[in-house]
Structure 1
């Protein structure tokens, strides 16, 4: 079976996420070399001097998160808390998920249009091992030991631990080569946590088989990469500047620190985590902005926390990955990108309704002293679908040593968050005002990781409802990371976003398409910002295109967007409203949007021009939304379209 898609998709993904390489048409061999050379912290031989320094910091024995089952103090407290009663009742009839070859190959053979069936099946099996381990360690009655052993044995025999979307030419499945990626790193850390937590409940024979498999599939391929300095496509997570870097390093290093007996070897993997995790931090803007959106912030930066805690515990706090001043800014991304009332924009490959992970935010809030009241209380209640983060949070960790923030900051009074370097502005009402609308405006560029072509896009929240805005992610299809096809999806291209269509042309991909901040004026009552977004459009006739946002906090609040443009000769111009609200046109220049109990009045006009409306429902496998196109009736050489949003009583 030839897996040509996976090969092209992998490299296209690297192209889309490496900031200086958002171009197509490169040969595969050249791509690999170019990315390696452009990595801020490129592949290099292991620094043996630093490894020896780290070795002195490590304890004699490996250990993982939490405690083994036979150290009962915390386990008994968790069991008696009642927080796990429902979970344990559900485990009585639990069946360990089986491996499905059909699901694994469903994307490549065309039986599925999305990678979801194969990926879900793979990750459910890791979840099954974690849940059975949790159940046995909580109750300590031997009821689930056989399930743990049988599940572990089945996973060890599983032909591939990697996501089917990442198994290039099915080398992992066929045992030709093994790679550390998002799913295999999850498997490795989950397996090692199971071995650590279950202790002598796992037979010596099975324990050896697990360690042998870990070396074959995870540890040895990394040793080989450093020994040979081989710059092939496998294990490129080391130099990636997106979520892959932190996710894979967390699983790899966490697994090594949990089970590898040799202290020097553990120091080698600790060094790898310490040094190469800097690449992942580079993927965040210097102002702390996460270009991948809230969903991937939880995933990517959440794993940076796992990596930090693993190394912090292993070295007794002598190595702290939070000692980078940029981490403080990144930690504030989630509270700063909130619009109002716990609602966040679905930027990039995020999804509508996504929120920051509570455990991640509690950890950050307490460890870094962010002063956010709702994230200041420790709790020993955690989920059980993961025996890594869930166990880390249920047991004492480094955040327990931090004192609750005495001077809690009234984050609800934070009326504005401005990521100045990126050009992302979030405007909110005053806490004492009657206004109940907020907005997030996105600048940035079209060469960002998990990018949508969305310069100038915005999301408006009224109450707790997104009335208008970025539609978010659609299910990953077999070509969604292929640059030739990615932006043919309306939801990923600019067409599905509330941005202009210029002379019939959508925004172009690439870092050269970027917003420029022309003007800002921020006061207690109003926020005004002007973005130059002309470079997003490859239209030679376009001479000027600015998007102006005026946010007014007075009374019930209002938000006005003005698109001001000029051409060298008359051309068409259109802007759009993207919404999942119910809507109706109430006059030649007004719309009424309704979502749940919220109603919003939209007015639109173009000085000196007649406007036309057309609507289109877009789904592309995701939750449907409507694109309402607002266009000037005749080609013009210059003009404006002005749209104002106000709550409707």
Structure 2
């Protein structure tokens, strides 16, 4: 049955629901509360998942985790956000708690031997004893911390659903007192505060999300309602939570434009709309298909957003607070495939459901397969363009032989959800890589969501490829907008004109337009900015990149990585100009953009800046990436080389390596665990390595030293077998017997090999070289020490090193 929607106008009071509607919903619900997934007593369901490869890895991780107690969450860490704005130090152990609970629960469900029950009980009791379930960054007045008032946030509602689900899975195994404690905490911390709102209509501090347009609404509501369906004994109470959900839903869906555009970006689409889809699946299950919250005009277009927003196979524009590498979640696409398969680009399969996170695991791993006749095609369908007319974003794509070429450009306004002041921003993508970019989200701090948000150059317009007009950046607010004044799309070219005048509060500004032309018969884009003033004013614009940059001269620059390049040619009328590059600070992240300002040197009353963008070859004059050395005349005697296995490290500083043998393999690989695991690297096996290999050697200053002995005085070259996924290379300092062999600012580069050799052999044998000249070691007979030091915070797997004689 179609869900009941009310008018969404963001009221200060939560609207009352219809008692008759509650009765109707109650008639659809089961008499007893029911969770999602299957109880572990359903061995057929659990054992089917336990046979998948990821289940064995989950069990192995659970055994490692069980060796340590639950991570502590001391008050000092919680209060650190209030004192300094640092949220990460608390969130690392906070999320580790929930990860461990799910790991122990899944591992025990797979084995069903009681091995992980003590660890699972300990984690759940620690969770119940925590002072606050709310994330520290969401407890501004410390009400949860001081236990003066509770409310649910993204973290607390997720904890409630996790605890409720695990308690339901293990309803016959967990002690009765623990299950009672879990329910009491859920009611106190999450469900009672939510119920108070829909009973009184008063939206108190902390529960603002019940009528917001952002991802918080769908995520917190889905977690809360699913928890109520799992733990509330009274069918009437459960029906009230579902009825309250129906009131909240229109507020969330009104956050999308009618054409389905999500201004928060694909990452938050995964999160917010993904949870809306999870919620739809859960209420559909709970009501035996009688309640369908997907029956809403905007839902179909929002499902199609995942297809329409992609510029290339795995590149979406990072507008607003979107991560630069965000892409549609496979689990969310799987849910769409079950309800709106015609909106997908291609068929979605999930080979191993055992590794999915909580809701995806509960709703997908235990689900019956979709009938083949209802599935999208296996071969992806690629459309040449998509215009989000109401969202104000244009995506264009083309194929030239085997080369893909695409772009995205936005109009919109500067009051969008997770807004950046970025009207007119764009990206250019060649072969599935964005060479010219919008910089995307910054690392969140207390400032990010404060009155000082737009102090950040990542969030204000300065860090975006848009003009600076009369020395002023773009305004914030809905009135600061870009208007599409022309959209002309043909087989030969696509032309889009955006009026940017209203994005700037400059009284002297009479007109500012950006014309975007995408040629389809050749891989080329022309972006032309035309400006006019009532009196002479300064003007500049910019291009932005994360990649290497080579400014050839005033009219030309090249942006490149190890796999390709993008040529940017510049022409200006109205004044002379300079090109000035600047690194835009983005603390806490490795994505540090470079802004190249195209700055007119004198004030103008009218000017035109034209930027022509097209793919370019990797020419030999481009600095800063690896090139194969010319070995002519060197005649390296590879068969007589001294081979050093990478695992045989004589000394290590700046990191720690331990061994961790992998089941059914005789090989090891060094892996540095993430901060929330152990703060130390591990060794685990690596397929296709010669013997043992090292990996996740990924922190600057982490130095590895090996010892070797040469039989005679002579010249030697250095060769390594390595792999990594960084297209523009990885940097290492090299020293022999303590003497550095490179300048501090010119470390040796090691080329990308296409990946980490996880599923296929991506190892490459590399001569250590600089500017096409192989490194030559003059060595005396006897023992020596070779040291390589990480110079760039990038990882590289290393299989072996060879000291190769040069006769």
- Residue equivalent to 2:108: 136
Tell me the distance in 1 between the aligned counterparts of 2:258 and 2:269.
15
Q: CA deviation at 1:379?
A: 4.1
- Residue equivalent to 2:389: 420
- Residue equivalent to 1:506: 473
Tell me the distance in 2 between the aligned counterparts of 1:37 and 1:412.
36
* Distance verdict in 2 for CA 1:476–1:192, change over 3 Å: same
Q: Secondary structure at the match of 1:65?
A: coil
- Residue equivalent to 1:21: none
| 1:156 corresponds to which of 128, 142, 145 | 128
Tell me the distance in 2 between the aligned counterparts of 1:440 and 1:45.
43
Q: Secondary structure at the match of 1:208?
A: helix
| 1:567 corresponds to which of 526, 529, 533 | 533
* Distance verdict in 2 for CA 1:118–1:408, change over 3 Å: same
Q: CA deviation at 1:566?
A: 0.7
- Residue equivalent to 1:365: 337
Q: CA deviation at 1:472?
A: 0.9
Tell me the distance in 2 between the aligned counterparts of 1:189 and 1:406.
31
- Residue equivalent to 2:568: 602
- Residue equivalent to 2:37: 66
Tell me the distance in 1 between the aligned counterparts of 2:8 and 2:63.
53
Q: Secondary structure at the match of 2:573?
A: coil
Tell me the distance in 2 between the aligned counterparts of 1:404 and 1:85.
33
Q: CA deviation at 1:98?
A: 2.8
Tell me the distance in 2 between the aligned counterparts of 1:406 and 1:220.
42
Q: CA deviation at 1:413?
A: 2.8
Mapping for residues 351-430 of structure 1, pairs under 5 Å? 351-370=323-342, 372=344, 374-377=346-349, 379-384=351-356, 386-396=357-367, 400-401=369-370, 403-405=372-374, 408=377, 411-430=380-399
Tell me the distance in 1 between the aligned counterparts of 2:426 and 2:194.
42
* Distance verdict in 2 for CA 1:630–1:123, change over 3 Å: same
Contact 1:380 1:395 in 2 (8 A): no
| 1:49 corresponds to which of 5, 9, 20 | 20
The yes-or-no answer on 1:518 pairing with 2:485 is yes
Tell me the distance in 2 between the aligned counterparts of 1:409 and 1:41.
48
Moved over 6 A (4+): none
User: Which has the larger helix fraction?
Assistant: 1
The yes-or-no answer on 1:444 pairing with 2:412 is yes
Q: CA deviation at 1:123?
A: 2.1
Tell me the distance in 2 between the aligned counterparts of 1:434 and 1:632.
38
Mapping for residues 17-32 of structure 1, pairs under 5 Å? none
Contact 2:261 2:388 in 1 (8 A): yes
User: Which has the larger strand fraction?
Assistant: 2
Contact 1:433 1:554 in 2 (8 A): no
Contact 2:264 2:417 in 1 (8 A): yes
The yes-or-no answer on 1:229 pairing with 2:201 is yes
Q: Secondary structure at the match of 1:219?
A: helix
TM-score (norm 2): 0.73
The yes-or-no answer on 1:107 pairing with 2:81 is yes
**Whose radius of gyration is greater, 1 or 2?**
2
Tell me the distance in 1 between the aligned counterparts of 2:102 and 2:13.
34
Contact 2:525 2:612 in 1 (8 A): yes
The yes-or-no answer on 1:81 pairing with 2:52 is yes
The yes-or-no answer on 1:265 pairing with 2:233 is no
Q: Secondary structure at the match of 1:467?
A: strand
Q: Secondary structure at the match of 1:290?
A: coil
* Distance verdict in 2 for CA 1:120–1:501, change over 3 Å: same
* Distance verdict in 2 for CA 1:411–1:41, change over 3 Å: farther
Contact 1:366 1:376 in 2 (8 A): no
| 1:466 corresponds to which of 406, 413, 434 | 434
| 1:239 corresponds to which of 194, 208, 211 | 211
What are the ranges of 5 or more consecutive residues in structure 2 without an aligned counterpart?
1-6, 618-807
CA deviation profile, 1:584-623 (whole Å, cap 9, x unmatched): 1113200011123111111001124312111111122132
- Residue equivalent to 1:172: 144
* Distance verdict in 2 for CA 1:422–1:388, change over 3 Å: closer
Tell me the distance in 2 between the aligned counterparts of 1:318 and 1:379.
30
Q: CA deviation at 1:83?
A: 2.9
Q: Secondary structure at the match of 1:540?
A: coil
- Residue equivalent to 2:189: 217
- Residue equivalent to 1:453: 421
Q: CA deviation at 1:362?
A: 1.6
Contact 1:189 1:388 in 2 (8 A): no
Q: Secondary structure at the match of 2:474?
A: coil
- Residue equivalent to 1:490: 457
Q: CA deviation at 1:321?
A: 1.1
* Distance verdict in 2 for CA 1:286–1:37, change over 3 Å: closer
Q: CA deviation at 1:306?
A: 1.6
Contact 1:292 1:450 in 2 (8 A): yes
Tell me the distance in 2 between the aligned counterparts of 1:638 and 1:295.
40
The yes-or-no answer on 1:342 pairing with 2:314 is yes
Q: CA deviation at 1:408?
A: 2.7
**Stretch of structure 1 that moved more, 444-453 or 403-412:** 403-412
- Residue equivalent to 2:577: 611
TM-score (norm 1): 0.90
Contact 2:492 2:519 in 1 (8 A): yes
Q: Secondary structure at the match of 1:646?
A: strand
Q: CA deviation at 1:288?
A: 0.2
| 2:596 corresponds to which of 612, 625, 628 | 628
CA deviation profile, 1:24-56 (whole Å, cap 9, x unmatched): xxxxxxxxxxxx994179612232110000000
Tell me the distance in 2 between the aligned counterparts of 1:587 and 1:250.
55
* Distance verdict in 2 for CA 1:442–1:404, change over 3 Å: farther
CA deviation profile, 1:419-472 (whole Å, cap 9, x unmatched): 011220000004x65652210101111001110000000011111221011111
Tell me the distance in 1 between the aligned counterparts of 2:418 and 2:609.
30
* Distance verdict in 2 for CA 1:409–1:286, change over 3 Å: farther
Q: Secondary structure at the match of 1:604?
A: strand
**Stretch of structure 1 that moved more, 401-410 or 387-396:** 401-410
- Residue equivalent to 2:802: none
**Stretch of structure 1 that moved more, 363-372 or 125-134:** 363-372
Tell me the distance in 2 between the aligned counterparts of 1:542 and 1:54.
58
The yes-or-no answer on 1:553 pairing with 2:520 is yes
Tell me the distance in 2 between the aligned counterparts of 1:373 and 1:452.
29
- Residue equivalent to 1:533: 500
CA deviation profile, 1:188-247 (whole Å, cap 9, x unmatched): 100111111112111111111111111111111122222322233231111011001001
Q: Secondary structure at the match of 1:512?
A: strand
Tell me the distance in 1 between the aligned counterparts of 2:291 and 2:389.
31
* Distance verdict in 2 for CA 1:301–1:469, change over 3 Å: same
What are the ranges of 5 or more consecutive residues in structure 1 without an aligned counterpart?
1-35
Q: Secondary structure at the match of 1:173?
A: helix
Tell me the distance in 2 between the aligned counterparts of 1:627 and 1:227.
52
Q: Secondary structure at the match of 1:348?
A: coil
Tell me the distance in 1 between the aligned counterparts of 2:558 and 2:574.
24
- Residue equivalent to 2:553: 587
**Stretch of structure 1 that moved more, 113-122 or 197-206:** 113-122
Tell me the distance in 2 between the aligned counterparts of 1:373 and 1:450.
27
Q: CA deviation at 1:380?
A: 4.8
Contact 2:457 2:585 in 1 (8 A): no
**Stretch of structure 1 that moved more, 301-310 or 499-508:** 301-310
**Stretch of structure 1 that moved more, 414-423 or 97-106:** 97-106
